Amino acid sequence: MLNSGVLVLNRAFFPVHITSVRRAFCLLYAGLARAINSRYEMFDFQSWSELSIHTSEEAIGLVGRMIRVPRVVVLTAYDRVPRRNVRFCRRNIFGRDRNTCQYCGKAFPTNELNLDHVIPRSRGGKTTWENIVCSCIACNKRKGGELPEQKGMRLIRRPARPQWAPQFAFSPRTSIRQEWLPFLSLVDFTYWNLELEH
């Protein structure tokens, strides 16, 4: 139980990683995180430990009483998440490019953007941070299989590997808990987080 998973959200309620119940209690106790119940209410350690426990709920004995096991906690500060290598996946490419077509500079909803190889694959272009950008459907069509210069197109920004902390991604072995679902958009989770082939 102490080692089972707890979903950690950042202050913006984005999932950042999974920790253990043990560590979640430490964060909670230290005031670095708040527990969230199924009604999205937040609790500090004190108020959480005072919650009554229904028979259907998991609880553990701690500081002399039974305390509900939190399954989702939210960090009270942004900077508690260690930086790791930013995962090369669709979600992060869209994030880097802020859902903006890198040719015409307009922002689009996700489903109206493609990933474009700046140097087309047919010309040896690689699938890398430096050669993949978001592109709207119109710009994508216009560019076709050519180099941007050949179509009089210019990138608004040179694509590079981002420096920010990565979006959360599950390892394939993670068993996803019911309580996490409201915080994960699982519809296209695999699609968005799948590591792209280099």
What residues line the site for Zn ion (CB under 5 A)?
101, 103-104, 136, 139
- Please, are residues 95 and 86 in contact by the beta-carbon 8 Å criterion? no
Task: Give me the least distance between CB of 135 and Zn ion, in Å please.
Answer: 6
Task: Give me the least distance between CB of 193 and Zn ion, in Å please.
Answer: 25
Task: Give me the least distance between CB of 54 and Zn ion, in Å please.
Answer: 53
Which residues contact residue 164 at a Cβ distance below 8 angstroms, ignoring those fewer than 6 apart? 86
Three-state secondary structure string covering 53-109? CCCCCCEEEECCEEEECCCEEEECCHHHCCCCCCCCCHHHHHHHCCCECCCCCCECC
Task: Give me the least distance between CB of 169 and Zn ion, in Å please.
Answer: 27
Which lies closer to Zn ion via its Cβ, residue 60 or residue 107? Answer: 107
CA distance 105 to 157: 9
Which lies closer to Zn ion via its Cβ, residue 26 or residue 155? Answer: 155
Which lies closer to Zn ion via its Cβ, residue 17 or residue 142? Answer: 142
Which lies closer to Zn ion via its Cβ, residue 112 or residue 130? Answer: 112
CA distance 7 to 50: 21
DSSP bridge pairs for 115: 134
